[in-house]
Structures are given as C-alpha cells and as structure tokens.
Chains A and B, each alone.
Chain A
C-alpha cells in the first residue's frame, strides 16, 4: 500500500475522536429526550454511509457486467460487506434509542422495515458469494446486486402503502434541527465516511492479495502435478 493509507488512517482517527467529543460534549442536549438522543450522531451517519456503500455496490456491479474487470468485482464485494456492517449498526443503535424514547424496541414502521429488508437483501448477496463456486461468483453476484437495487424502490413503496393504510403512532422526522446539532451530525458523517473508506481500502487490498495467493496456488499445483503423478 502506498503512503496515502496511513495518512487516511491518522486523519480518520483524529476525525473520529473529534466527532466523538463533538457528539458527547459540544452538541446541545435534546429538550425532551435528553442524552439518549446523542445516539443519533452514530445512527444517522451509519445509515447514510450504508446507503452510499450500497449505491457503490450497484454501480460497481453494473460496471462489472459491462467491463468484466476484477477490480470492480472486488469493489462490489467490499462495498456490500462494509455496507452490511454499517446497516447492522443502524439496526442495532435504532432499538437502543427506541426503547427509552418510544417504550418499545422495535416497531414495524416504514423506515425500520425498509432498512431491515434492505439488510436482508444484501445478506443474501453475501450468502450467494459465499456459496457459489469461484469462477462464476462475480457474474452471479453482479446480477443479484442489480436485482437487489431494482427491488429497493418496490420495498420502499410497498411498505409506504402498507403503513399509510394501517396508520400507527410513530414519532416521525418532521420539525427542524438545531444548526449546532446539524453541524455535529455532519462532522460525524464525515468521520464515519472516512472510516468506511479506510476499512474498504484495506479489505480491497486483502481481497486482492487473497486472489493473488489463490492464483499462485493454482499455478503451482498445475506445474507440479505431472511430477507428482509420475
């Protein structure tokens, strides 16, 4: 890896600690919810980062289907993996916040449900990658990624219809956000994006090395097999 990687690492560490300080100390305490609301600075940036990574996965899969270059396949794999991790953070921090504020861990509200379905779709993508034999994996995975991305608007609309037909009290977004809170939120998002980029980068390099090792092993067994069979 070149020099940019440690620089990005240090930058991410600084940003994350600054964002932590901002979220826990500088940001004003929310009037009704109190300190519980501070989880918002982790929940929302994780969600945004996950959605960006899933978009990257879709674009990389499309590029792979047209160009068939291994690099975009690795990008698709890496973005799906890291995206699922961030999506999991969203699904875990959500209930932690919801319990004291709503009084329940989970509700089949529109956003919760659609995020959960999105998470399921990308888990099935990773399962497919795990279970298919190596040569065909990239093509099959890219196809599934396109189906998954096509499914996202349908997930959104169907759950929207579902919930508008069966209204239930849910504390929705609405209202305005304090500009200081927005500032902290954006800093946290920047930090989380850098962190995601850092993980993706090292995971990309790892996958590249792994494939090189596999190729070397395959080549070795090809060149050595006549000798051993004699």
Chain B
C-alpha cells in the first residue's frame, strides 16, 4: 500500500466533483442499465419463480455492462491536456492515482447499484428468501472486483487502438470467476440459500487482484 499522501484524496475529490457537476458517467450508466432491465424483461418474460433464479444473472450483467461505461472514461479525462504525462514525470506515487481512480469508480458503480436495485425489485417482483444482509457484502466485494480490475485494464487499453472496445475484451475473461461468484451468490440468497462459499471466493479474488494491480500499476503507467 502506498503511503497516505494527499494525492489520493485530492484526486478522488477532483473526480467526484467533476462527476457531480457533469453527471456524465452516472447518467449514461443509469440509462444503460435501465435499458438492459427492460430489454431482458421483454426477452425472457419471467414469472416470479423464474425471476428469482435468473435475476442474479440479469442484475450483474446489467451492472457489468454499465460499469464499463464509467470505466472507459476514467482515464480519458486525464489524456486531455497531457495530465497523465505530467503525472508520470511527477514524483507522486502511481498507486495513489490508481487507488483514487478505483475508489472513485467504486463509488459511481455503487451509487448506480443503489439506484437500480429498487427498480429491479419492482420490475421482477423479487423477494429474497435467504439472508438479505449477505447481498450487501456480495455487492460490495463484487463491485470492487469489477472496478479494481476494470480501472487497471482501462489504463492498459488507453495504449491500444480502439480502446473503448479493448476494455471489455480484456476485462470480461478475467472477471468470469468473480462474475460467476456474484451471480451464484445472489441467486442463492434470492432462492433461500446462503452464500458463504462465494463470499469467501470473492474476498480472496479481491485480495489477490488488488495486490496485483498495486504491484503492477506503476509498470503500466510508465510503459514506453
């Protein structure tokens, strides 16, 4: 972990303020996941029992696709006016920048989830039969899993041609275990089971990949 310099909170504050004023990411994410909810609802037309089984998958697929929207513009802002280059030559630790971006994305996606979940519950008539509090843990760990790798791969795909397409191509294969865990945990809780195994898996996934991101981010930022 990097030393708690002022850079991390400062960058985070700046990103949050930019987002608060423009509301670019959150609006496009909200609209996008709303579309996914509606389209899925038309294409499956589920009854209450079926919804319980498939809702875990629908929710997380919707959030995953919506998160890509936010992740893609994470670094785009820093390319204008060569902010990223300036950052590279400055002595500021690269990991503070990375953590600020990852936490910022985590907040954006969490806000999206908080706004969209009630809508999902209404549209699909969901009533969890298992321990609901576990869903909160699953949501927090799962969102972090998507966002930490997503922020990292967004920084990688900055260096490629057609970077907007590149991010999902890199992110989705690596995220399959996390996504499987999130979907299964949610479906288990909704249908009346527990999700301890999946929470443990998500926790270890988060630990391993957060460590890997922090160890390798400087290399990627300075790649020439």
Taking Cβ atoms with an 8 Å cutoff, the residues of A that contact B are: 65, 117, 120-121, 123-124, 127-128, 131-133, 135-136, 139-140, 143-144, 146-148, 150-151, 154-155, 157-159, 161-162, 165
Whether the pair A135, B224 counts as a contact (CB closer than 8 A) is yes
List 15 other contacts, CB 8 Å, given A144-B156, A147-B174, A151-B174: A117-B173, A120-B172, A123-B173, A127-B166, A131-B160, A133-B159, A143-B156, A143-B220, A150-B212, A151-B176, A151-B177, A154-B204, A155-B177, A158-B180, A161-B184
Contacts of A120 in B (CB 8 A): 172-173, 176
Whether the pair A143, B216 counts as a contact (CB closer than 8 A) is yes
Contacts of A165 in B (CB 8 A): 184
Whether the pair B181, A158 counts as a contact (CB closer than 8 A) is yes
Whether the pair B201, A124 counts as a contact (CB closer than 8 A) is no
Known: A124-B170, A140-B220. A154 touches B161 (CB 8 A): no
Q: How far is the CA of A123 from the CA of B169 in the complex (A)?
A: 9
What are some 30 contacts across the A-B interface (CB < 8 A)?
A120-B173, A121-B173, A124-B170, A127-B169, A127-B170, A128-B156, A128-B166, A128-B169, A131-B162, A132-B159, A133-B159, A133-B160, A135-B224, A136-B223, A139-B219, A139-B223, A140-B220, A143-B156, A144-B156, A147-B174, A147-B209, A148-B174, A151-B176, A151-B177, A154-B201, A154-B208, A158-B177, A161-B184, A161-B197, A165-B184
Known: A128-B170, A140-B223, A144-B170. A155 touches B156 (CB 8 A): no
Whether the pair A139, B170 counts as a contact (CB closer than 8 A) is no
Number of A-B contacts (CB under 8 A): 93
Interface residues of B in 136-157 (CB under 8 A from A): 149, 152, 156
B205 at the interface (CB under 8 A from A): yes
- A135, A146, A147, A155: the one contacting B176 at CB < 8 Å is A155
Count B interface residues, CB 8 Å.
32
Contacts of B197 in A (CB 8 A): 161
Residue among A65, A154, A157 with most chain B CB within 10 A:
A154
Task: Convert B168-197 into 0s and 1s, putting 1 for each residue whose CB lies closer than 8 angstroms to a CB of A.
Answer: 011011101110110010000000000001
Contacts of A117 in B (CB 8 A): 173, 176-177
Contacts of A65 in B (CB 8 A): 216, 219
Contacts of B169 in A (CB 8 A): 124, 127-128
Q: How far is the CA of A165 from the CA of B220 in the complex (A)?
A: 39
* Chain B facing A: main interface SS: helix
Contacts of B223 in A (CB 8 A): 136, 139-140
Whether the pair A133, B174 counts as a contact (CB closer than 8 A) is no
Contacts of A136 in B (CB 8 A): 159, 223-224
Whether the pair B173, A124 counts as a contact (CB closer than 8 A) is yes
The residue of chain A having its C-beta at the shortest distance from the C-beta of B220 within the complex is A143
Q: How far is the CA of A140 from the CA of B174 in the complex (A)?
A: 15
Q: How far is the CB of B151 from chain A (nearest CB, A)?
A: 13
Q: How far is the CB of A76 from chain B (nearest CB, A)?
A: 15
Q: How far is the CB of A141 from chain B (nearest CB, A)?
A: 10
Contacts of A151 in B (CB 8 A): 173-174, 176-177
B106 at the interface (CB under 8 A from A): no
Q: How far is the CB of B194 from chain A (nearest CB, A)?
A: 11
Q: How far is the CB of A211 from chain B (nearest CB, A)?
A: 17
Q: How far is the CA of A158 from the CA of B181 in the complex (A)?
A: 7
Q: How far is the CA of A132 from the CA of B160 in the complex (A)?
A: 4
